[in-house]
Amino acid sequence: METIDYPMCNEQIARLKKKLQQAKERDALYKVFGAGSHRYHLNAPASIAEVDTFEKHYGIQLPECYRSFVLQIGNGGKSYPNLGAGPYFGIYPLGQNLNDLIYKNVALHLKKTCSLNPKILTTRWDEIIEPIYEDDISDEDYETLNGNLYGGILPLGSQGCSYIHALVLNGPHKGRVVNLDKAEQIPPLFSENKNFLDWYEGWLDEIISGKLITITPSWFGYPKN
């Protein structure tokens, strides 16, 4: 494996590798929601060349903590659709399922500055998405509105139904994980964590503590009854 030098992340990466094994041992019967699918498996990490090619193609720079995860811990997994160990049904491989959010022309919109923020209220969210659902909207206008809404956001993985977790690529909230409803019935819900590795470690900690074996889900996704 190539050596990656990320001083801000290396210590945490080593800790996460140990905690991932601890979580698998703690949840040996796969009682945590989604664990029966990914079974705490991750594919081998991506290469630097693969990540560099992805960034160059889309004109983006991945947040350092997510980039270090893909390069040093793992990149997707074996469960459908190629999900690896992670909250709910898991984490996508880098570059897959990019059209989870963006309807068309991902390369144009992925490099945009993210327009979403943690303070969007339900009333404001309804106002934002209202034009998308007008009966006479053209395909071109829909693409523009959809691209502006979800530009600068990388889909990370599935929570089931229309819910996903995603990563902010650009703007003041770069690096934050945000929960999104592809059906747009619920406003975005930003994780309290400031970066991907903290979010991922929080998930592992709750499994190791036993909390997620008896309570589903928790703070890292949309609350469900």
> What pLDDT is attached to residue 10?
83
pLDDT at residue 1 tops 50: no
pLDDT band at 3 (very low <50, low <70, confident <90, very high): very low
| Mean pLDDT of the region 182-200 | 94
- Which tokens is 165 given? 């977790």
> What pLDDT is attached to residue 148?
95
Long-range contacts of range 47-55, CB-CB < 8 Å, 24 or more positions apart? 47/2, 47/71, 48/2, 48/4, 50/94, 51/94, 54/94, 54/95
- Which tokens is 126 given? 């309804």
pLDDT at residue 62 tops 80: yes
> What pLDDT is attached to residue 204?
96
Closest CA relative to residue 53, chosen from 94, 90, 24? 94
| Mean pLDDT of the region 191-208 | 94
> What pLDDT is attached to residue 206?
92
Closest CA relative to residue 60, chosen from 168, 141, 187? 168
Spans of all domains in the chain? 10-214
pLDDT band at 215 (very low <50, low <70, confident <90, very high): low
> What pLDDT is attached to residue 80?
84
pTM score: 0.91
- Which tokens is 155 given? 């889909």
The fourth-level CATH superfamily of domain 10-214 is SMI1/KNR4-like (3.40.1580.10)
| Mean pLDDT of the region 173-202 | 95
pLDDT band at 8 (very low <50, low <70, confident <90, very high): low
Looking at residue 221, the DSSP 8-state letter turns out to be S
pLDDT at residue 5 tops 90: no
pLDDT digits (tens, 9 = 90+) for 19-50: 999 999 999 999 998 999 999 999 999 999 99
Q: Which of 61-70, 117-126, 196-205, 213-222 has the lowest mean pLDDT?
A: 213-222
pLDDT at residue 212 tops 90: no
pLDDT digits (tens, 9 = 90+) for 66-109: 999 999 999 999 988 899 999 999 999 999 999 999 989 999 99
pLDDT at residue 225 tops 70: no
Average pLDDT, the chain: 91
pLDDT band at 222 (very low <50, low <70, confident <90, very high): low
